[in-house]
Amino acid sequence: MQQAIKMTNGNIDLGLLVLRLWFGLEMAFAHGLPKLMKILDGNMSFGDPIGIGVGPSLVLATFGEFVCGLLIAAGFFTRLSCIPYIITMLVAAFIAHAGDGWGKMSFPLMYAVAAIVLLITGPGKYSLDYRMFVSKTGV
């Protein structure tokens, strides 16, 4: 007979930690850091998917991917950080990769779904948000 895994707050919090670390750090270092390096090198070439100019588009994408990715991984202002992260991924999926087919659209949508889960659930107990805002208030 197979034994069922009992869901506890501890393993839910651990699952949220794994989700935050993977999707936050993967986004920050695989996608956001190259964009940050472009900015630091003065190379502002980038797409303009929402019509605000290539420079502002690059800066906003870098913020959504690198800065918010790191904040999500740390669990610091997690829900707030998920918003630009989600917007960036939805723009990537439905505007930048709209004509590329599902294969290209599915990757940013996976990141968006992970961030939507964190926006709904919060970062969990193993986060800076919890240590700074919840554990001190006893909520």
Q: Whole-angstrom Cα distance, residue 27 to residue 70?
A: 8
> What would the pLDDT profile of 71-113 be if each residue is shown by its tens digit?
999 999 999 999 999 999 999 999 999 999 999 999 999 999 9
Model-level pTM greater than 0.85? yes
Handedness of CA 100, 106, 107, 112 (dihedral sign): positive
SS3 41: coil
pLDDT at 66 > cutoff 70: yes
Q: Whole-angstrom Cα distance, residue 116 to residue 61?
A: 18
Whose tokens are 């009992």? That residue is 6
Radius of gyration of the CA atoms of the chain, in A: 17
Tokens representing 100?
Answer: 């590329």
